[in-house]
Structure 1
């Protein structure tokens, strides 16, 4: 009888222990789930705040409001110091401030943190082009051009063509400009660049065609008018020469192109 009572007590105690363990486990799981949800919510809010700060900062930059840009981009970096886009924004801001060393540091930090951030890579390449560091720019632009999802690929190919031309890679430059036009048929500078190269190659009908297309898309530029003068002369269109020369004189009287035109006109008439 005593043994039966002892066995009964042991069984009851075991059942109670299992019940307690199960209750504790369920409570622990609930607590873990709740903490995970809170952490996820905080992470979502942080990501949302980061995106907002970057968007506002870049928007202020486009408007030329450096103080507004600085405020929001600094908040972005405080929210996430490892944000490539935030460093990209700060680089653009310092570039606008003519603080080139700081700009380069932030470009490099952006690409170190996010090597696939094509926007930062493209912006860094443009920065390098302005510093006449064409080989470095060219290498970054090649990588940027390989990103088929980047929305500004046509602009990348335009700049890639400019870098290639500076490095003496003329055929590659022309191919890049053709690609820019293929991606964006409204890319006016690419038409002008190609027109100039076809003129140099003496492929004059092609030069004329590309220059005409440029003129349809963009306003007058000294380089376009000067090219138009020489093309008109080749095709013996003296009215075209006169009208474009007048426009060049009126609109760009202090340009190098106007000086070149005057020297050309003098040599042409033998004066």
Structure 2
């Protein structure tokens, strides 16, 4: 009789443990589904540029699944959108710690270092990413390397990286603009003009490119063409933007040059 009671007790306790485990698994699954929905909503807000609303949803998700690398990356992007680069970097690092092969988070970390003007750390990140043969869009890290080297005034390496990006994507406008600015900084005026002229053909409504081309024309003393590009810049740029204000001032100086 006693043996039978012991057996029944064991079965009872085993069933309790099993039920408890099943309950925890069900709760974990429910938390994951709820967190995923919150993350998706947060990412939608990021796409809209509403970073405060995004963080509100993402912080809720973090209470449910703090070790989700995709959530950590999204939180980093939201904080980056609010210019809280230190917090953004910590979230990107956590995402990579949780998923070391997470290329999007590695790219985000590099972008955060660029925004923080920590050129050396950005170069380290993007060099690693550009060598990853599994990374589907290597022209992005190559172009980002060009930007970092440009800001370090190492123009030969900036030129090299921008050209490598354009070898993969010949119409990649960010790399074209970066290459043109690099040529301008090197005093390679003709190459700068040719590069910017190609760029404005690809992206004719990109106001900054017309401003860049105007500066290349000014450097070559072609003030008439420079004036035309400045007028185009003023036409395309938001009226109260710094770009528009700068273009207006340059336009006035060019009018004096041209005797208007």
CA contact (8 A) 1:226 1:248 kept: no
Cα deviation digits, residues 128-171 of structure 1 (max 9, x gap): 22222111121112122223333443322222211122223322
Q: Which structure 2 residues correspond to residues 171-182 of structure 1 after superposition, within 5 A? A: 171-182=156-167
Deviation at 1:232, TM superposition (A): 6.9
Residue in 2 that maps onto 1:119: 104
Normalising by structure 1, what TM-score? 0.67
Q: 2:90 aligns with which of 96, 102, 105?
A: 105
Residue in 1 that maps onto 2:142: 157
- For residues 150 and 54 of structure 1, the distance between their equivalents in structure 2, rounded to whole angstroms, comes to 24
**Which structure would you say has the larger Rg?**
1
Matched, 1:86 2:77: no
CA contact (8 A) 1:228 1:241 kept: yes
Cα deviation digits, residues 160-208 of structure 1 (max 9, x gap): 2111222233222122212322333332121122123234445444323
Matched, 1:186 2:175: no
Deviates more, 1:80-89 or 1:203-212: 203-212
Tell me how large the CA RMSD over aligned residues is.
3.7
Residue in 1 that maps onto 2:132: 147
Matched, 1:138 2:126: no
Deviation at 1:253, TM superposition (A): 4.5
- For residues 233 and 66 of structure 1, the distance between their equivalents in structure 2, rounded to whole angstroms, comes to 41
Normalising by structure 2, what TM-score? 0.70
- For residues 39 and 164 of structure 2, the distance between their equivalents in structure 1, rounded to whole angstroms, comes to 31
Q: Which structure 2 residues correspond to residues 1-271 of structure 1 after superposition, within 5 A? A: 52-66=37-51, 68-218=53-203, 219-222=205-208, 224-231=210-217, 234=220, 239-248=224-233, 252-255=243-246, 259=249
Structure 1 runs not aligned, ≥5 long:
1-33
Number of residues of Structure 1 aligned to a counterpart in Structure 2: 232
CA contact (8 A) 1:226 1:258 kept: no
CA contact (8 A) 1:196 1:227 kept: no
